[in-house]
Amino acid sequence: MGDFIQPEENLDVRGKTCPMPVLLTRKKIREIGSGKILEIIGDFQPAKENIQKFLQKEGHQVLEIKDLSNEYKILVKTNSL
């Protein structure tokens, strides 16, 4: 049970194509602030890489990336903006 991290916030970007998943991720992070655990769920694979690049560039901590059959989940801890 110890490895499971419960997200405090969720963002569903399924059905969205670039650049919307990154823009929605940025907006959500600004809304929730720093130190929060955010789970991002999407299904457009190119957006997964773009979201990861954005998170790293902005200094957020990517905790986990899961590839499921038709979607992905990214778990991130937000930093101070």
Q: Is pTM beyond 0.85 here?
A: yes
Q: Could you tell me which of 30, 9, 63 has the C-alpha nearest to residue 22?
A: 30
- The domains of the chain are located at 16-77
Task: Select from 3.30.300.130, 3.60.9.10, 2.40.10.220, 3.30.110.40 the CATH code of 16-77.
Answer: 3.30.110.40
Q: Which of 18, 23, 62, 81 is catalytic?
A: 18
pLDDT in tens, 27-53: 999 999 999 999 999 999 999 999 999
> Average pLDDT of 13-38?
96
Going by pLDDT thresholds of 50, 70 and 90, the confidence category of residue 2 is very low
67 is catalytic: no
Helix (H, G, I), strand (E, B) or coil at 22: helix
pLDDT of amino acid 80: 62
How big is the chain, counted in residues? 81
